[in-house]
Amino acid sequence: MEPKSLTIDAARSAVQQRTASAISLTESFYARIQNDDPKIGAYLTLCKERALAKAAEIDTLAEKGERLPLLGGVPVAIKDVMVTKGVRTTAGSKILGNYIPPYDCTAVARLEAAGAIVLGKLNCDEFAMGSSNENSAWKPVHNPRDLSRVPGGSSGGAAAAVAADMAVAALGSDTGGSIRQPASFCGVVGLMPTYGRVSRYGLIAFASSLDHIGPLTKTVRDAATVLGVIAGRDPMDSTSAEVPVPDYVTELEKPVHGLKIGVAKEYFGEGLDTEVRKSVEAAIQKLADLGCEIVEVSLPHTKYAIPTYYIVATAEASANLARFDGVRYGFRAPEARTLSAMYRCTRDLGFGAEVKRRIMLGTYALSAGYYDAYYLKAQRVRTLLTRDFEEAFKKVDAIVTPTSPTPAFKLGEKVDDPLAMYLADIYTVTADLAGIPGISVPCGETREKLPIGLQILGKHFDEATILRVAHAYEQAA
């Protein structure tokens, strides 16, 4: 069976009906990775032994005629910020270059418990800090749709692997747009669930109040399936919420007729590419044709989202990354003679330029004399941004926007201008700050055949509605 365009249901039923064995399917994915990944760069580490052992387990079930679990025999891959027991996990950083975790991330363990076959670990920006994947300490990722362009970031490897049929689905993480923006750039579906919906246990922390794990898939149905598997309370993460998990796949089929869809002018302003605007407007028209009621809403504080985000995220990062000191795991600078010199040299040599920049900005924002002016101020504006959504969601069931103001840009185009790179996240950071869920679904292409993404934002814990709208749009488009 060929990996090309394979969905979760197609892969699982092939293995269930024994038209393909899980082992042969896994091997055909590895063959494809061996053949295609050298020019894309999506994978950092392969875990063949673990994958083939799991595949054998699934084949035994299928041979006995037992009903396979939801992801039985489905080859998936994991962004390298989620720890995997016995499989090297680097977070895209040299400082964790030789780190072999002693435990599994909850989301990964849940995928495997549902029968998924983990092929390997996916490239990403170092510690998930970036919007182009160019901050990986190992290698850049090339967009499978145009190899001269970035795949987006920070889950660039995840989006590229799914787009290039080197995994049926992938897990990514989203702190400021890192699932949705690369999904949009590579032409796949990317879902960021509500904060607290999916356990963060085993996700290497970047900004703890903003980090989310979620799926990147080829279809909205697949995203619904994966979310159903990974969602739900986990005692190992005290911020994971005790909120019932609906059957997302069944919910997809409910009609969208009569749903109120908000459109906010703040997401269609200066800096929005003309072709992206046209595609998103056409998608909104399509939703109207499907019987949705289009309602104008206002999110007046949107323009303050990027400055708020870059204070809150970097402040939290500066604290989270203090643990990398060369003592318990990871890289240690070999030459240092004193403890304090060892810390400094280890961090100087172990972290890349963008990570150091963010640690510096976050430390500055938290330092004596600046805490009130920056960190506390940003936390207050975060309340305003969240209230914007709470007000809007009194009137509408979901809000649609472009995922990114532009299609995929060229490799190297923004590497020397951190602020320009930060502004690539202008439409995605708001949802992370407010903790609401968001999905990016493909909505056409530019003249140069570059994918465009439609973002659908929802109420807290209402992933079912945004999945339903995304599914209806995907089926109609």
Contact 136, 127 (CB under 8 A): no
Closest separation between CB of residue 129 and other proteins, Å?
13
Q: Does 246 bind other proteins (CB under 8 A)?
A: no
Size of the residue set binding other proteins (CB under 8 A): 74
Q: Does 139 bind other proteins (CB under 8 A)?
A: no
Q: Residues with Cβ < 8 Å from 372, sequence gap 6 or more? A: none
Among positions 311-370, residues that touch other proteins (CB under 8 A) are 311, 318, 322, 325-332, 336-345, 347-348, 351, 353, 356-357, 359-361, 363-364, 367
Applying CB under 8 A, which of residues 142, 149, 221, 382 lies at the interface with other proteins? 382
- Would you report the helix, strand and coil content of the chain in percent, each value rounded to 5? 45, 15, 40
Provide the CA 224 distance to its chain's centre, in angstroms: 14
Contact 101, 111 (CB under 8 A): no
Among positions 389-408, residues that touch other proteins (CB under 8 A) are 390
Distance in angstroms (rounded) separating the CA atoms of residues 50 and 52 = 6
Applying CB under 8 A, which of residues 69, 97, 246, 418 lies at the interface with other proteins? 418
Contact 76, 121 (CB under 8 A): no
- Residue with Cβ nearer other proteins (258 or 369): 369
- Residue with Cβ nearer other proteins (185 or 310): 310
Applying CB under 8 A, which of residues 60, 239, 250, 285 lies at the interface with other proteins? 239
Distance in angstroms (rounded) separating the CA atoms of residues 123 and 91 = 8
Closest separation between CB of residue 358 and other proteins, Å?
10
Closest separation between CB of residue 100 and other proteins, Å?
6
Asked if residue 154 has a cis previous peptide bond (ω within 30° of 0), the answer is yes
88: left (phi over 0), alpha (psi -120 to 50) or beta: beta
Q: Which residues pair with 432 in a beta bridge?
A: none
Closest separation between CB of residue 238 and other proteins, Å?
4
Closest separation between CB of residue 464 and other proteins, Å?
16
Closest separation between CB of residue 56 and other proteins, Å?
26
Applying CB under 8 A, which of residues 56, 383, 412, 448 lies at the interface with other proteins? 383
Among positions 181-220, residues that touch other proteins (CB under 8 A) are 195-196, 209
Which range, of 178-186, 310-318, 399-407, 463-471, touches other proteins by CB under 8 A?
310-318
Beta strands at 260-264 and 398-402: parallel, antiparallel or unpaired: parallel
- Residue with Cβ nearer other proteins (262 or 435): 435
Among positions 64-103, residues that touch other proteins (CB under 8 A) are 98-100, 102-103
Distance in angstroms (rounded) separating the CA atoms of residues 210 and 212 = 7
Q: Does 235 bind other proteins (CB under 8 A)?
A: yes
- Residue with Cβ nearer other proteins (59 or 432): 432
- Residue with Cβ nearer other proteins (28 or 379): 379
Scanning the structure block, which residue is given the tokens 């979620």? 214
Applying CB under 8 A, which of residues 34, 35, 148, 238 lies at the interface with other proteins? 238
Instruction: Pick the closest to residue 280 from 131, 269, 291 (CA basis).
Output: 269
Distance in angstroms (rounded) separating the CA atoms of residues 421 and 430 = 16
Residues known to be catalytic:
79, 154, 178
Beta strands in 427-470 (DSSP E): 438-445, 451-458
Closest separation between CB of residue 12 and other proteins, Å?
30
Distance in angstroms (rounded) separating the CA atoms of residues 175 and 173 = 7
Among positions 445-464, residues that touch other proteins (CB under 8 A) are 460-461
Residue 380 CB neighbour total at 10 angstroms: 10
Mask for 426-445, x = binds other proteins (CB under 8 A): --------xx----------
Applying CB under 8 A, which of residues 381, 426, 431, 466 lies at the interface with other proteins? 381
Applying CB under 8 A, which of residues 301, 414, 468, 471 lies at the interface with other proteins? 301
Closest separation between CB of residue 24 and other proteins, Å?
35
- End-to-end alpha-carbon separation of the chain, Å? 27
Applying CB under 8 A, which of residues 19, 242, 244, 394 lies at the interface with other proteins? 242
Distance in angstroms (rounded) separating the CA atoms of residues 76 and 168 = 6
Contact 226, 217 (CB under 8 A): yes
